[in-house]
Amino acid sequence: MELSPTAYVILGMLSWSPKSGYDIKGLVDHTTRFFWAASYGQIYPELRRLAEAGLIEAKDTDTGGRRRTVYGLTPGGRAQLREWLAGDPEVFELRDEGLLRLFFAGAAPATAPSTLDAKRRHHETVIAQLREIEAAGKPEGFAEIVLRYGIEMNEWAVEWCERAGAELEAPAKGKGGR
């Protein structure tokens, strides 16, 4: 069976412990969002599909009035997750509008420093968010490794923006930039 990577986000989350769609969305927003986001519009329909495929199972635990459907992995779902983990990753996509603007900055060179600045600020914001997650959740094992990746990659990007910004200022060939 061919599943989307987003389906594996769900399977992976449920491999830790049973969860509701709401739980999954909350976890995604605090963990994988930086390298794999997912919205309710994806999660709820996907939960239904996975349940129909027998990879997850609903344990309708409505605690009184508030309806809440908690799903758990079936043995088949766990096998599917492990099979996916054993394969090679295929998707790697980056969409960086800052880089795009910088690339075309020749049409308005004066805008380059502020583009670089905005990009740097973006990465700094992400670092702050990741550090918060780090402090709050004290992740361990693979989650911690991946979180460190996020922090270090964004730190690298901040440094690059600073270096590139300095380079832009350096060749001041009497053009009267600024």
Partner DNA sequence: ATAAACATGTAACATGTTACATGATTAT
Partner DNA sequence: ATAATCATGTAACATGTTACATGTTTAT
Judged by the rule CB under 7 A, the positions of this chain that interact with DNA are: 4-6, 20-23, 26, 37-42, 44-45, 47-48, 63-70, 95
- Give yes or no for residue 30 binding its own copies (CB under 8 A): no
Would the CA dihedral through 121, 122, 127, 133 be positive or negative? positive
In the DSSP assignment, the letter for residue 10 is H
- Give yes or no for residue 26 binding its own copies (CB under 8 A): no
**Cβ neighbours, 10 Å, residue 158:** 18
In the DSSP assignment, the letter for residue 111 is G
> CA 25, CA 40: separation in Å to the nearest integer?
7
> CA 153, CA 103: separation in Å to the nearest integer?
21
* Contacts with its own copies, 129-158, as mask; x by CB under 8 A: -----------xxxx-xx--x--xx--xx-
- Give yes or no for residue 41 binding its own copies (CB under 8 A): no
Provide the binding-site residues for its own copies, judged by CB under 8 A: 5, 8-9, 11-12, 15-16, 31-32, 34-37, 78, 81-82, 84-86, 88-109, 111-112, 114-115, 118-119, 122, 140-143, 145-146, 149, 152-153, 156-157, 160, 164, 167, 175
